[in-house]
Amino acid sequence: MLVTAVVALAVAAGVLLGPLENLLRNAEKNALEQQVTVVPPSIRREDPTLARLYELSQHAYSGSVYSALLAAEAHLGSRLHADEVALLGYPDRAGYPTHWVVVWPSPDKDLVHGDHVDDAAAAFRERPNTRTGALKPIYSVGSINGGQYARAALPFFTRPSGFLHPMRWVLLVRKSLVGVNSAVSTVRTAFLVAALVALALTLILGIPLSGRIVRRLRVLRHTALRLAHEGPMVDVPADNSRDEVGDLARTFALMQHQLLQQEEARRAFVATASHELRTPLATLDGMLELLDEDLRSGHVDLDDAQDLIDRARSQSRRLGRLAADLLDLSRIDAQVDLRSEPVELGELSRAVLAEFELGTGERGINTVLNDQIGPVWALGDPGSVARILRILLDNAVRLSPEGGEVSVDLQNGEAASLSVCDQGPGVPRDERELIFERFKRGRQTAGQVGFGLGLAIGRELAARMGGELALDDQDCPGARFTLRLPIAHAPDMQPVAVS
């Protein structure tokens, strides 16, 4: 923070102070340019006298003319608040710019002697405008005796009688920029004081702030190391500050909470899976042992053997369902791409319902497909849609009483929907979201086989296809689950030629 502040102040000083000084100097030069644009009349009307003064400048000055010009200088200098006003002219009659003489010196002789009058040399070399015959004034900023001055050099002609060539003169005006330098120095001093105050405040505020941030980060680092070594049961300290470190701490706490949930889910899965696996495996092992004893004895009771085989097949199906659920979860977690194509929900529902005819017939459960609205086309993966429908029908059939009814309703609207309604015990309000979590089962399913994975798999598959699986509040004797998917247009069917 300190380095950043120093660099920022240094850049600000370079960007502000340098251009400010140049701007003020140019402003003074422009002001002088507006004040002095032409040679004053008090000097221009002395053309013959100037010529005479020029002629006498090699030896001595004319007292009356000199006094008049000094008065004009005093008036001009007072009006402009100038530090030097001087009149320069050529010392040779041919007008060649060999050198010049100060005809009318400034009162400040030190200033005159230290002035190199390079702008006067340029003004003497100016050529008259071809259209107007006027000479262009020269305005600049220069250094004299170590001080900065705004300078004006105004060339002009005199045409005295008796002279072969017009006389050329340059009126010099020098105005000190000490006010500009003083203003820049004041701004520089104020900027330096402000910079020192800013740096002091940076140190006063930055050191405690950075120390506090470092302490909070060290706490997070220590907690992360404990989490890596001891597991997600480590307590994460709360940090309610509304800054980036607070956001990081809250995100870390959220991660730890999710790890705890995953750990609980893992433990629940291990407990459930070990129980569900141990039961069918123990049953299968016992039945196979009984069958082996009957076969070895040579006296086989066919009815008893058939019963053992039926029970073994039931346990095998339980193991198959568990394997299918775990495979589906692994595919979901691996983000395996699903197909996206038009699916006709009515045809798919009839095919899946046919798979449940044997189980529903044994318990006298009636299944109904309400597809009077005609074909319902949805966009999704056919296998995943069928898997979700199997999950919903399996739950509905297992929880419905004997002689009950399970209906499948198809609807078209903003989305293509497929609903399964049963006559089971329903779902309590406090479990409406719980039952969609992995390894979670409702209280009404006590005593029923299952792992609590079906609805979780169904919701995640629906989300992967751009839809949703929800428990509806619509009137239904038991529970009503609805799968909603994006609507798809029916594919164009090519006519089949009949010979």
337-485 CATH choice from 3.20.20.100, 3.30.565.10, 3.20.20.70, 1.10.540.10:
3.30.565.10
135-164 pLDDT, tens digit per residue, is 888 888 888 777 788 888 888 777 665 556
Question: Does 3.30.1370.100 match the CATH number of domain 244-332?
Answer: no
Distance, in Å, from the CA atom of 365 to the CA atom of 184, rounded to the nearest integer, reads: 97
Residues (pLDDT < 50) of the chain are 56-62, 92-101, 103-105, 496, 498-499
Domain segments of the chain as ranges: 36-176, 244-332, 337-485
The pLDDT score that the predictor gives to residue 345 is 92
pLDDT digits (tens, 9 = 90+) for 338-360: 888 999 999 999 999 988 887 77
- Decide whether 36-176 matches 337-485 in CATH topology: no
Domain 36-176, what fold? Beta-Lactamase (3.30.450)
pLDDT at 347: 92
Q: Print the SS3 string covering the chain.
A: CHHHHHHHHHHHHHHHHHHHHHHHHHHHHHHHHHHCCCCCHHHHCCHHHHHHHHHHCCCCCCHHHHHHHHHHHHHHHHHHCCCEEEEEECCCCCCCCCCCEEEECCCCHHHHHHCCCHHHHHHHCCCCCCCCCCCCCEEEEEEECCEEEEEEEEEEEECCCCCCCCEEEEEEEEEECHHHHHHHHHHHHHHHHHHHHHHHHHHHHHHHHHHHHHHHHHHHHHHHHHHHHHCCCCCCCCCCCCCHHHHHHHHHHHHHHHHHHHHHHHHHHHHHHHHHHHHHHHHHHHHHHHHHHHHHHCCCCHHHHHHHHHHHHHHHHHHHHHHHHHHHHHHHHCCCCCCCEEEEHHHHHHHHHHHCHHHHHHHCCEEEEECCCCCCEEEECHHHHHHHHHHHHHHHHHHCCCCCEEEEEEECCCCEEEEEECCCCCCCHHHCCHHHCCCCCCHHHCCCCCCCCHHHHHHHHHHHCCCEEEECCCCCCCCEEEEEECECCCCCCCCCCCC
